[in-house]
Amino acid sequence: MSYQVLARKWRPRTFHELVGQEHVSRALVNALDQGRLHHAYLFTGTRGVGKTTLARILAKCLNCRQGVTSVPCGECETCHEIDEGRFVDLIEVDAASRTKVEDTRELLDNVQYAPTQGRYKVYLIDEVHMLSTHSFNALLKTLEEPPPHVKFLLATTDPQKLPVTVLSRCLQLTLKNMPPERVVGHLTRILEAESVAFDEQALWLLGKAAEGSMRDALSLTDQAIAFGQGEVRHADVAAMLGTLDHRHLLALAEALAEVDAARVLQEVASLAEQGPDFGAILDDLAGIFHRLTIAQMVPDALDNSHGDRDTLLPLAARFTAEDVQLYYQIALQGRGDMDSAPDPRTALEMTLLRMLAFRPQGVPKPPQTPLPIRGSAEGDAPAAAPASSPAAEPVPSQPTPSPSESSRPETQAPAAGDISPVADDSGEDVPHALPEAESPETEVPEAEATSAEEEVPPPVADAPGESVDAALEDEAQRQADVADVDDAPPWALDDAPAPAASEPPAAAPEPSVMDVAAETDEPDPVTATPAPVAATPETGTFDHARWLAVFESLALGGLTRNLAAHCIIEHDDGETLALRLDPSQGAMLADVHVERLTKALADQGIERRLNVTVEALPEDLDTPRSQSERLARERHAQAVEALRRDPHIQMLEHDFGAHLLERSVTPTDGAASDA
């Protein structure tokens, strides 16, 4: 007995066996059940998607001995003859070989005669677009008003070549291409029924190589079974199709994740030994970036098309979302530039190196330490602490910070109440302010912020709630302040002014505040605004007010800083710190950002395990970003008001009819008071 190929052996014989064309089978089943049959159907679609199969099933439904039904019995003589292709009333015509008008006229001469065996005489014209113009003209009248016992079933892969007059006389049903997932599922059932051993990865290669055609997939499967000596294995199918081992592409993606240019070139050299299509390598790499994006955004939607789902999920966590998007865009652009390159390998290498060169984090290595705070300059001098702050008291037991350590951008924090521009994500200077560290639970009063800008404070003024003279004379209070400094975290002392060289020992009388300021050439401690001091884990839980106070001292940058700026603190149990992220930023959340934030908090002495959830934020709590924007609006309003009170501007408005463009006002340090 001769071997029957899988494409013929497993051809569907009913609508319920049809794979992937539910929209067409539903229309035909309902038409058969309700008796609303058209006299001419046109099936369109690419090769191997079931056009001829659908026509034969419809012919079987029309001529089954049990009557017109959507579920033919498959056992009567008519069903067997149609399945075997020898039913006399099913006339199959190959339009590609019968294009002449004489052939069409000969065909139409028999239309008027009743069917010989069946209920209907069915004309199945395949590749109907190959008919000549005269043949179409000869077919038009009969196609429009055929005898009641005649049904026309037309099939074509190119409906654009059909005349509009033919299209208007037919009920057109368009068949879809087969996605790889549907092909793999169908091949799995067939191979299990045939008792053929297979690898799922091999079936995915066959499904992709079929390019939407189920018949091509079954033909390739026949070839793979013969190639693999009765088995369908991944290595055999890859060798048969001439495709690269997917593991090489994953190794190339890992080299990009490590930002290792030497390893990237080494992987390309390894691929070049196999003589591949370098353009196809770039296409497959772009496909990997696409799947990495899915793994980052919707992990449950990631398929196992190459059997690498368990590999891609952890690999996606090693990339940031912006890196993957940039790499994908560069891969597409590099694919288009390959024709202009000296050779394909050079184009591939330059494209991969371009990915590393234009990473948002820089090259050649990812930063080993958190990025510096944007908006702070290395040459900025640290703000002096007030007399009431423990950091301002000279303590013999504490080492004196070196000038380089006290001026580092990572450890320098802006003074509370001192409004200074901080660069936001768009690169513009945005005013930013932080509350005082001594009362992190409360924000800076608006009255104090306004007075700090509109009026120059007097040279000597008492700190809130405490007199400078009383602080110097009260020895017990001084000892308590010294004890507080001993327990303060390291970052609280970074900005403290170094004691003068001629400073007396601890047992000597305490010099006055003004003397210390004069000897060290530091700003007046009374008029200077205190720097924010973060709470240590020993002082209690890390609440939201302390999060706002310590945020600017975290060494964060880029997307990590943006995500953290949209978070609030929900609760802290001493081990796990729960943060809630604004849903508008949830798509960009990745493990790499959580790790950077965890390290930045640990560097500040807040060692916690972070748990970030994406939920709607309460309206009564400010995130660092919303607080910055609110203070920026207040500062802008103060600057505008100061300009409107300026006599020169009032003169210009009165004499020349000028008007102030509020949008052009950019507040700077001291702008409101100077105006």
Task: Profile the chain (675 residues) by mean pLDDT over runs of 10 residues.
Answer: 83 89 91 91 92 91 90 89 89 84 84 88 91 88 90 92 91 91 92 91 88 92 92 88 82 91 92 85 92 91 80 90 92 90 91 89 41 38 38 40 40 41 43 40 42 43 41 46 45 42 43 38 39 43 85 86 90 88 86 89 87 88 89 90 89 87 78 40
The correct CATH number of 252-357 out of 1.20.272.10, 1.20.1260.10, 3.40.50.12160, 3.40.190.10 is 1.20.272.10
Q: How many C-beta atoms surround the C-beta of residue 392 within 10 A?
A: 24
Cβ within 8 Å of residue 600, ≥6 positions away: 370, 554, 555, 556
Task: Write the CATH number of the domain with boundaries 6-174.
Answer: 3.40.50.300
C-alpha closest to that of 20 among 176, 172, 174, 173: 176
Alpha-carbon distance 458 to 141, whole Å?
A: 104
Q: Is 511 helix (H, G, I), strand (E, B) or coil?
A: coil
Alpha-carbon distance 551 to 413, whole Å?
A: 9
Q: Domain ranges in the chain?
A: 6-174, 180-241, 252-357, 390-520
Cβ within 8 Å of residue 80, ≥6 positions away: none
Task: Write the CATH number of the domain with boundaries 180-241.
Answer: 1.10.8.60
Output the pLDDT for position 540: 60
Residue 661 φ then ψ, to 5°: -85, 105
pTM of the complete model: 0.50
Contact 277, 374 (CB under 8 A): no
Contact 181, 200 (CB under 8 A): no
For residue 207, what are its two tokens?
Answer: 């499904």
Output the pLDDT for position 289: 94
Alpha-carbon distance 316 to 313, whole Å?
A: 5
Q: Is 572 helix (H, G, I), strand (E, B) or coil?
A: strand
Q: Is 659 helix (H, G, I), strand (E, B) or coil?
A: coil
Q: What letter represents residue 394's amino acid?
A: P
Contact 40, 170 (CB under 8 A): yes
